[in-house]
Structure 1
Amino acid sequence: MQTSPRRRLATVGALAATSLMLCAGPAFAHVGVDPEEAEQGGYSVVNFKVPNERDDAATTKVEVSLPTDHPLSSVMPQPVPGWDVKITKSELDKPIEVHGEKITEAVTKVTWSGGKIKPGEFQQFPVSMGQLPEDADQFVFKALQTYDDKQVVRWIEEPKEGQPEPESPAPVLKLTPATGDAHGNGADSKDDDGKNAGDGAEKTSTDTGSAAAGSAEDGGSDSTARVLGAIGIVIGVAGVAFGVLAGRRRTP
């Protein structure tokens, strides 16, 4: 039996698609961060996603280096079952001030070891960090992934916008402008009309109380309507039953 041209074309297309997927697969098997964005000047929990890109070895150690040009005042890794975590701190060339406190050293590396990421699996390593820089649009980490056969994969190449992704890209956290007012307004602050912000807060509280009272009244009206509706349904059912019984009585 001869194979039809349509079937041969479908077979060739399937083989080509499979080959493309196999070739493209390794490009996505690198260390990354989740989420990929955070707000400038804020705090964020960053998950370092580490996939095992090999089928003949397991990952046994992960090292993530933090940028030293923008030191963070707070770095707290979340415990990961089966893994030991080590924090490395270094003296800063120039102390930084956070919330009125002078910081002379900062975390420069976090290392996880003792566990295993088996072939075909990945592991997330969450880290709470901040205060993220306000004068940068990205935060580039450098990661080292060690396998149980002593091979070390260095994810340290910084991706460049408009250029192809490097062979071993470093994890990058994009920083976006803050959307909220991080400082808030005090009771003595003034609005555009020169009035105290506290007056507006008091008015808001009063309006909220009025709205709550209105909601309570509406709730009472709704309850009454439900009761009356239920009574109407009961009366209707009783009427239907009475009609059925009356019809049966008139039937010879």
Structure 2
Amino acid sequence: MRSLPARRLAAVALTAAASVVALAGPAFAHVTVNPGSAAQGGYTAVDFRVPNENDTASTVKLEVNLPMDHPLASVRTLPLPGWTANVEKSKLDKPIKVHGNDVTEAVSKITWTADAGTKIAPGQFQEFRVSLGPLPTDADSMAFKALQTYDNGDVVRWIDEAQAGQPEPAHPAPVLKLTKAAGGDDHGVAASASPAAGTHGDSSDHAAAAGDTKSSDSTARTLGVVGIVVGVIGTAVGVLGLRRKGSGSTS
């Protein structure tokens, strides 16, 4: 009769372990912007990182919507073999001043479409590079709502914005955090804008370093999850052993 509670305890432990893995897994499959932060008022190059999270279909299109409440005067895409980029512009309700000039329209959406024979297959990811600027000085973040289209017709809408004090949404929009420029806005703009868009320089190296840091963070989170799972299972096994030992001593 004592074996029934023990079996229930083991089942609960395994269920808890599976829940931890299930909750941790999707966090690594979001569409993200990398690096995740840039200086206010400056220019930067970022990658929209798109993992394929479907086991039976491939990604063939990505649409990224740029926030028009903080329009960006300069947006350029880096050519990506096998993909065609289409840049759409929208008229601004109110012109913005950039380097003393009036800007009356800004890029509102970028769509990358896979050429024939190109795709992001299951288990793969792709990065789509864009240079942006000047970044706003009156905001601490920018959300880029994205739509990911699969070759089976499925569309995943990465458009939900996280709310303070609330759990992360199931399909969060990629977010670029904006930080105060070191040494003042002018210094920040000059430092960020020095490399030309699409060239390999300090900004590319910085982006790569930030990407490596993010990968390290993901690895650390994964190891942490594994440690929790092992701990839960180990506790369950230890309790089962004690119960069996107690049962054997009273028989």
Calculate the TM-score normalised by the size of structure 2: 0.66
Partner of 1:202: none
Q: How does 1:94-113 map to 2 (within 5 A)?
A: 94-113=94-113
Partner of 1:26: 26
Q: CA deviation at 1:15?
A: 7.9
CA RMSD of aligned residues (A): 2.3
Partner of 2:166: 163
Q: Structure 1 residues 65-74 or 157-166, which shifts more?
A: 157-166
* Structure-2 separation of matches of 1:119 and 1:12: 32
Partner of 2:66: 66
Q: How does 1:76-225 map to 2 (within 5 A)?
A: 76-114=76-114, 115-183=118-186
Q: CA deviation at 1:134?
A: 0.2
Partner of 1:40: 40
* Structure-2 separation of matches of 1:37 and 1:45: 11
Identity, % of aligned positions: 60
Q: Higher relative contact order at CA 8 Å, sep ≥6: structure 1 or structure 2?
A: 2
* Higher Rg of the two aligned structures: 1
Which AA in structure 2 matches 1:51? P
* Structure-2 separation of matches of 1:107 and 1:19: 42
* Structure-1 separation of matches of 2:180 and 2:43: 13
Q: Is there any run of 5+ residues in structure 1 with no aligned partner, and where?
A: 1-8, 185-252
Q: CA deviation at 1:97?
A: 1.1
Q: CA deviation at 1:181?
A: 3.6
Calculate the TM-score normalised by the size of structure 1: 0.65
Q: CA deviation at 1:63?
A: 0.2
* Structure-2 separation of matches of 1:15 and 1:24: 14
* Structure-2 separation of matches of 1:59 and 1:165: 24
Q: Is there any run of 5+ residues in structure 2 with no aligned partner, and where?
A: 1-8, 188-251
Which AA in structure 2 matches 1:128? S
C-alpha contact (below 8 Å) 2:90/2:108 kept by paired residues = yes
* Structure-1 separation of matches of 2:42 and 2:23: 39
**1:53 has 2:53 as partner:** yes
C-alpha contact (below 8 Å) 2:144/2:174 kept by paired residues = yes
| Paired residue total | 179
Q: Tell me the secondary structure at the aligned position of residue 24 of structure 1.
A: helix
Which AA in structure 2 matches 1:96? I
Q: Tell me the secondary structure at the aligned position of residue 55 of structure 2.
A: coil
* Structure-2 separation of matches of 1:22 and 1:91: 44
Which AA in structure 1 matches 2:164? E
Q: CA deviation at 1:23?
A: 4.3
Which AA in structure 2 matches 1:123? Q
Moved over 2 A (4+): 9-20, 180-184
